Amino acid sequence: MTNLPLATSFLQSESFIYVLYIIAFALFIQGLRGLSGPTGAVRGNRIAAVGMGIAVVATLLNPGEGNWGLIALGIALGVAVGVPAARQVKMTAMPQMVALFNGVGGGAVAIIAWVEFRNHGSTYGSHLALRTFESGPFVEHAIVRTGALPTYVAIFSVFAAIVGSVSFWGSNIAFGKLQEIIPGRPISLGSAQQIVNLVLLILALAAGIDLVSGAHSELLFIGMLIVAALLGNAVVLPIGGADMPVVISLLNAFTGLSAAATGMALNNPALIVAGMIVGASGSILTNLMATAMNRSIPSIVAGGFGGGGAVEGAEGAGEHQGTVRSTSASDAAIQLAYANRVVVVPGYGMAVAQAQHAVRELTKELEARGVEVSYAIHPVAGRMPGHMNVLLAEADVPYDQLKEMDDANPEFQRTDVSLVIGANDVTNPAAKNTPSSPIYGMPILEVSDSASVIVIKRSMNPGFAGIENELYFDPKTSMLFGDAKSAVSEITAELSAL
């Protein structure tokens, strides 16, 4: 049992490489710790990037490494696509960007599993396993040379293939919806949807089990990838735009777990740790988003929001229909100018209209007049976790003016004017008052506690959930109809003319 590779070069020894991987994942964790506040976050991100650089270098040090030209080609392609995309993407398009990156990650995992299978298929007990075990921290040449690849390697690999394929296609559909290539409305097979999903899941699992237990058929493997791809489509297509924050988080968790599984199959600690952290992050976000909508994750995955329940809600809304008071930009400006405290409640409408800069201009004008301004942000406002915060940060809104829901709600009682910009369901009092409402129980921003409310909205159309908003019929609410950006700009103009 002589470990010749160990002796030849220290830098290429498996232990040294292993230590580099440990440093890499330690830096990932340290980097993410920086994200606990805005001050350390930039540094944290760069620390994680350094960790990534170390992990890549460690891998390239591997004695068996080859195909340098192709590696350079792949990296060059990735840089050519990734760098301009990251530099040029608009902040309003961040949800699409994250969905796309997510999909790409899932795709990489699925491809890696496929190539692994292509190698195991002919020679069960591949060179990869040989090499990994040969000079690793554990000495076990004999077992690998004589026997097959351990079953668990095949299990993790097949798992990674299924989950990677689901998240590749799911994320691409999510991207298509967010980019409005595909309609954002739920597209579903109706009641058959859940059965179809279940059948696809069972088919994928059956193929996986067959492969793990020794079916050396690449056709079956490709079939499994395709079934998983169909499943990814079938799960995300029926999901409506308002549920996107949950879906994106869930797909994020999936890609993370698939990377961890790849790490288990390749016996690579950096992959395992990084994958699990991403998986944990995605799971936490999924849970937060689902809680903020008062919906269970299974019910979101099972089908769109815009279905049966929402129609009932719209009909039920007839009961409390009163008069809607419409206002003008000049009246709104006067109302805001004489307020002591104004809370801005942004929603997806602000993102669509790209109104964040206009909003910032308005609040600057108000602050110049001595009005105290803050922003109340619902966790699911927009299309992904933290969407509104990024837009407002882009427009230079100070971090400490951005209030999370729990901090914002007690403040509404001493607020003179709540300015709702393109937010709908997250302000609907029906979530508190109307047990029959489909959104009953969902935590909301309690804007109706404030002395008066101005709602900037395109029209009286209900939001994505298809539910009438009681807030609009409240006597203290006035509606300013129009595109968020032009409406806000008009108010600002009126305000400076006062």
Partner 1 sequence: MILASILTTNLAILVLAGFIGFVVISKVPNTLHTPLMSGTNAIHGIVLVGGLLLFGLAELDSFSKALLVIAVAFGTINIVGGFLVTDRMLEMFKSRPKPKASEQDSAGEGKPGTDGKAGS
**Catalytic residue ranges:** 425
* Residue 436: CB minimum distance to partner 1, A: 30
Q: How many CB atoms lie within 10 A of CB 283?
A: 18
Nearest to 3 by CA among 149, 137, 129, 143: 137
* Residue 410: CB minimum distance to partner 1, A: 17
- Tokens 């991403």 label which residue? 278
- Tokens 């029926």 label which residue? 238
Q: Is residue 485 a contact residue for partner 1 (CB under 8 A)? A: yes
Q: Which of 280, 297, 314, 352 binds partner 1 (CB under 8 A)?
A: 280
* Residue 318: CB minimum distance to partner 1, A: 35
C-beta of residue 331 within 8 angstroms of C-beta of residue 462? no
* Residue 349: CB minimum distance to partner 1, A: 13
Query: In angstroms, rounded to a whole number, what is the distance separating the alpha carbons of residues 172 and 110?
Result: 14
Amino acid at 432: K
Which of 315, 407 has the CB closer to partner 1? Answer: 407
Burial class (CB in 10 A: 0-12, 13-18, 19+), 366: buried
User: How many residues interact with partner 1 (rule CB under 8 A)?
Assistant: 141
Q: Is residue 78 a contact residue for partner 1 (CB under 8 A)? A: yes
Q: Is residue 424 a contact residue for partner 1 (CB under 8 A)? A: no
Site residues for partner 1, window 163-192 (CB under 8 A)? none
C-beta of residue 436 within 8 angstroms of C-beta of residue 409? no
Site residues for partner 1, window 404-423 (CB under 8 A)? 404
Amino acid at 236: V
- Stretch touching partner 1 by CB under 8 A, among 124-132, 187-195, 300-308, 316-324: 124-132
- Stretch touching partner 1 by CB under 8 A, among 249-257, 311-319, 411-419, 445-453: 249-257
Q: Is residue 38 a contact residue for partner 1 (CB under 8 A)? A: yes
Strands of the sheet with 452-457, listed across from one edge:
402-404, 372-377, 341-346, 417-421, 452-457, 477-481
Which of 310, 402 has the CB closer to partner 1? Answer: 402
Query: In angstroms, rounded to a whole number, what is the distance separating the alpha carbons of residues 375 and 170?
Result: 33
C-beta of residue 498 within 8 angstroms of C-beta of residue 337? yes
- Stretch touching partner 1 by CB under 8 A, among 183-191, 279-287, 421-429, 442-450: 279-287
Site residues for partner 1, window 337-376 (CB under 8 A)? 353-355, 357-358, 360-362, 364, 367-368
Query: In angstroms, rounded to a whole number, what is the distance separating the alpha carbons of residues 337 and 335?
Result: 6
Q: Which of 97, 337, 417, 423 binds partner 1 (CB under 8 A)?
A: 97
Nearest to 225 by CA among 148, 153, 137, 165: 165
| Tokens, residue 340 | 């002591």
Q: Which of 85, 181, 206, 498 binds partner 1 (CB under 8 A)?
A: 85
Site residues for partner 1, window 283-342 (CB under 8 A)? 283-285, 288
* Residue 314: CB minimum distance to partner 1, A: 30
Q: Is residue 124 a contact residue for partner 1 (CB under 8 A)? A: no
- Please report, for residues 136, 255, 267, the alpha-carbon distance to residue 272 in angstroms, rounded to integers and kept in the order given: 16, 12, 8
Q: Which of 7, 8, 127, 496 binds partner 1 (CB under 8 A)?
A: 127
Site residues for partner 1, window 209-248 (CB under 8 A)? 248
Q: Which of 184, 385, 443, 462 binds partner 1 (CB under 8 A)?
A: 385
C-beta of residue 498 within 8 angstroms of C-beta of residue 333? yes
Q: Which of 6, 12, 16, 52 binds partner 1 (CB under 8 A)?
A: 52
